[in-house]
Amino acid sequence: MSNIFTNPNQLEEWVDASMGIQERFGIEKALGYVIGEKVYNLVAILHSARTIIRAIDEQRRQPEFTPVRVTKYSDREIVTNLDEIYEKEKGITIEAEDLLVHFVFLIEQAFLPHEIRRYLASHPRLGVHEHISTDEQFDFMVSRGAVEHTIDTEVEDALIFGDMLKYFGINA
């Protein structure tokens, strides 16, 4: 059972969609969709899982560590089991890594190597706004608080982009 996708053909469907985008809007929009958005999101999931695993590992080193936590809100209790979360995130990490290897393979079958390299060398804006928003529209959304754009998000995007390059076999 997948921790990430409910659709077992999700990666293939994204690549097929990118081919349709290429026909209608060109190679840059197609690669913006499949790499700049979809690969980016999958690497972001991987980064998030790794961050949670590191945080739990750090907590486990504390002498008073207890994996089961109870938080009270008014008349309710929320029970959190860090050991269960840890195992789930480990599963997500393994699955995301496998999916990324397969996804990159599919993308490399659909697009020419020089097209992929040129796209990645252009240092595109990542995420959904890369291929659907102009610079002006993106700046407007940032200025209105609709899109978070901080030094922290820039650093996270740089780390994600570095991993994206690795999956495509490109040294940064």
What digits encode the pLDDT tens for the residues 11-24?
999 999 999 999 99
* Beta bridge mates, 122: none
Q: What is the pTM of this model?
A: 0.88
Alpha-carbon span 97 to 121, nearest angstrom: 23
Q: What's the pLDDT tens digit per position in 16-45?
A: 999 999 999 999 999 999 999 999 999 999
- Helices (H), strands (E): how many in the chain? 8, 2
**The predicted structure's pLDDT at residue 5:** 93
Phi, psi of 80 (to 5 degrees): -120, 125
**The predicted structure's pLDDT at residue 36:** 94
CB-CB neighbours of 2 under 10 Å: 12
The mean pLDDT value of the chain amounts to 92
Q: Is the pLDDT of residue 72 over 80?
A: yes
Alpha-carbon span 131 to 34, nearest angstrom: 10
Alpha-carbon span 26 to 80, nearest angstrom: 47
**The predicted structure's pLDDT at residue 172:** 64
* Cβ–Cβ < 8 Å for 108, 15: no
CB-CB neighbours of 133 under 10 Å: 16
**The predicted structure's pLDDT at residue 131:** 67
**The predicted structure's pLDDT at residue 1:** 62
The predicted model gives 67-79 an average pLDDT of 91
The predicted model gives 100-116 an average pLDDT of 97
* Beta bridge mates, 81: 68
Given pLDDT bands bounded at 50, 70 and 90, which one contains residue 126? confident
